[in-house]
Amino acid sequence: MSNIPVYLFTGFLESGKTKFIQETLEDKRFHKNERTLVLVCEEGVEEYEPSKIPTKNIMFETIDEESDLTEERLAEAAKKAKATRVLVEYNGMWQLQNLYDAMPEGWLIYQQMLFFDASTFASYNANIRSLVVDKVQDADMVVFNRVPLGADQMPFHQAVRALSRNAEIAYEYTNGKVIYDDIIDPLPFDIDAPVIEIKDNDYALWYRDATEDMMKYDGKTIKFKGLVATNKGFDDKTFAAGRHIMTCCVEDITYSGVICNSEKPTGLKAGEWIMLTAKISIEFHKLYKGKGPVLKVISVSKTTPPEQPVATF
């Protein structure tokens, strides 16, 4: 079975998804005899205009209810369209995992773009933040539409960077001009120091950076305060050290730790707080199901919990 690329467009009502998809479909450069299925999971004020699209090899399929988002429904629509690629205008009020679970075998997300109306973003981010987090953390690009001329980019930038360091950010101003974000975010710790010291308030940022761009930490020495976790598959020289991290709300608090190996038994127990100094090696570990940071213990000692036990961004 050949893979079907999926181009995913997310965002809340009237954020500019339909307009962008319509303009993309009108561009002749986007079409090279592909057969395209467009899944429309949200209908707003703006409607698609098939008559302006320079090909007939396209089929629109509307999914009105989240319960209709099933593997069988998607596979049937793709078969009917004889689709070689899929575009999805996704409902911002639906969790992305529901789409991921429903995608038929062979469907692969090639690009995920997220759209926000700059004038309503703050309200969405304050009132339904869990849905904002859900969309930002997987996005390849975040586009803020209808940005007023002279508006400060920093609040938008910071909101995205609190959830993703990898997503590109673009601002489309009310005069139609598009500017790409070029704000540089210095990390709050020195990765070139002989020992990278992670302050208690910076653990979440370090953990995200170390998992998103892990190779730059290979061979580095690090020091941080962490909570011990154990696993039945560990021997007496292996443990995990990390923190519980809250991304947006209490419901999403997750223990986020790294594997640690010691040359001798540590006697550490789950739930103990430690001060750890270790050398990072990026290597395969079965708990990562691939490569990840494995910390070679240099020194470890028991300590008191940080003032805020749950780390945040």
- Cα gap 287→292, rounded to integer Å: 9
| Mean pLDDT along residues 79-97 | 96
> Edge to edge, what strands does the sheet with 178-180 contain?
58-62, 36-40, 85-89, 4-11, 107-117, 141-147, 168-173, 178-180
Q: How many CA atoms lie within 13 A of 148 on its CB side?
A: 6
Asked if pLDDT for residue 141 goes beyond 70, the answer is yes
In this structure, which amino acid lies at residue 284? F
Tokens of 164: 């993703």
Pick the closest to residue 234 from 261, 256, 263 (CA basis). Answer: 261
**115 strand-pairing partners:** 11, 143
**pLDDT (tens digit per residue) in 190-213:** 999 999 999 999 999 999 899 888
**pLDDT (tens digit per residue) in 219-232:** 999 999 999 999 88
**pLDDT (tens digit per residue) in 152-193:** 999 999 999 888 878 999 999 999 999 999 988 888 899 999
In which band, very low, low, confident or very high, does the pLDDT at 92 lie, cut at 50, 70 and 90? very high
Asked if pLDDT for residue 1 goes beyond 80, the answer is no
Residue 88, pLDDT score = 97
